[in-house]
Copies of this chain bind each other. A is one copy, B any other.
Amino acid sequence: MTVLAVDIGGTKLASAVVAPDGALLSRARTPTPVTRDGEEIWQALTSLLDKVLAEAGEPDLAGVGVGCGGPMTWPGAEVSPLNMPAWRGFPLRARLADRHPGLPVRVHNDAVCVAIGEHRAGAGRGRANVLGMVVSTGVGGGLILNGRLIDGASGNAGHIGHVVVDPDGPPCACGGRGCLEAVARGPGLVAWAQSQGWRPGERVTGVELADDARAGHPVALRALTRAGRALGVAIASATHLCDLEVVAVGGGLSQTGDLLFAPLNEALRAHARLDFARRVEAVPATLGQTAGLVGAAALIHDPDSYWHAD
């Protein structure tokens, strides 16, 4: 049976009706309303869900699977996405359950759903030990080990962005210091590049930074090298701890290709030295924007692998 899959982020709401084989039978997206009114976001979401269900011909559903920006309580899924201040403790799972009575509703972190998607149908397909990463405004991830999603104590396993890559490094928004995210998130890269003389004072993002790196701007290139090295160190640590086979790196920054992956792999090879760790492959994620939807659907379609709560 089909699943209603939902992907909720600070910039867009996306949904799809997903067949058991992972095919998207219908799909739509809409910008996340910029509002202080949580109900306005809820209305935009339900309109979107009505639309994809209608386009798919109002199919019988096996359940509703959702990826949403964190933090959230888990598995109860009262969500407080960092980039959606209108939702603080919003009872997303309960609301969806009210709207779809009798169906299982399962919510997990959006980066976890991306990792599930890449494991099920993308760069990690067929492997039992996979880290999926999203390198973008933040750095998130999800962990599949022994063939099963790892939730951890509170559903928060996979926070590769807060693996420490330099104990004396830059302060991180989490309150720590030298986290991978502090170095490699897009805005962190931009800030560092601007401090080194790249487009000082301009309002620019990681998109312009990536463009300038591709055009050969030396500071922009150094910024990507710095991020790549930090990623390589964190992936080496994760590989030693978890004996990973594949690390699938997605998110906007990953689309810079070798400008990021060359220094990433150089640092990874320098630090992942035990025999078993040398075999790990760090590769670009392959599903792009659909990974989160594919992963959210799998929360319903394959609970043996991906859903171990209630």
B175 lies within 8 A of A244 (CB) = no
Known A-B contacts A176-B271, A271-B176, A275-B71; A241 and B167 likewise in contact (beta carbons under 8 Å): no
A88 an interface residue at 8 Å Cβ cutoff? no
A262 an interface residue at 8 Å Cβ cutoff? no
A242 lies within 8 A of B276 (CB) = no
Q: Which A residues, 243 to 294, have Cβ-Cβ distances below 8 Å to chain B?
A: 243-245, 267, 270-277, 279
Known A-B contacts A129-B153, A152-B243, A308-B146; A176 and B238 likewise in contact (beta carbons under 8 Å): no
Write the nearest CB–CB distance from A152 to chain B, whole angstroms. 2
Our pick among B161, B174, B271 for the contact of A164 (Cβ within 8 Å) is B271
Which residue of chain B lies nearest to A141 when distances are taken between CB atoms in the complex?
Answer: B241
Known A-B contacts A145-B145, A150-B145, A274-B174; A159 and B241 likewise in contact (beta carbons under 8 Å): yes
CA distance A165 to B157 in the complex (A): 20
Write the nearest CB–CB distance from A170 to chain B, whole angstroms. 13
Which residue of chain B lies nearest to A152 when distances are taken between CB atoms in the complex?
Answer: B243
Write the nearest CB–CB distance from A74 to chain B, whole angstroms. 9
CA distance A248 to B85 in the complex (A): 38
Our pick among B148, B164, B271, B279 for the contact of A153 (Cβ within 8 Å) is B279
A156 an interface residue at 8 Å Cβ cutoff? yes
Q: Which A residues, 175 to 199, have Cβ-Cβ distances below 8 Å to chain B?
A: 175-179
* Overall SS of chain A's interface: loop
> Which residues from chain B contact A243 at a C-beta distance below 8 Å?
150-159
A55 an interface residue at 8 Å Cβ cutoff? no
B274 lies within 8 A of A156 (CB) = yes
Write the nearest CB–CB distance from A153 to chain B, whole angstroms. 5
> Which residues from chain B contact A129 at a C-beta distance below 8 Å?
152-153, 157
Write the nearest CB–CB distance from A52 to chain B, whole angstroms. 32
> Which residues from chain B contact A276 at a C-beta distance below 8 Å?
71, 152-154, 156
Q: Which residues of A contact B (CB under 8 A)?
A: 71, 127-129, 143, 145-146, 148, 150-167, 172, 174-179, 229, 233, 236-238, 240-245, 267, 270-277, 279, 308
Given A162-B240, A176-B271, A176-B273, 13 new contacts (CB under 8 A): A128-B153, A143-B241, A145-B152, A154-B276, A156-B243, A156-B274, A159-B241, A164-B236, A166-B167, A167-B271, A172-B273, A176-B236, A177-B271
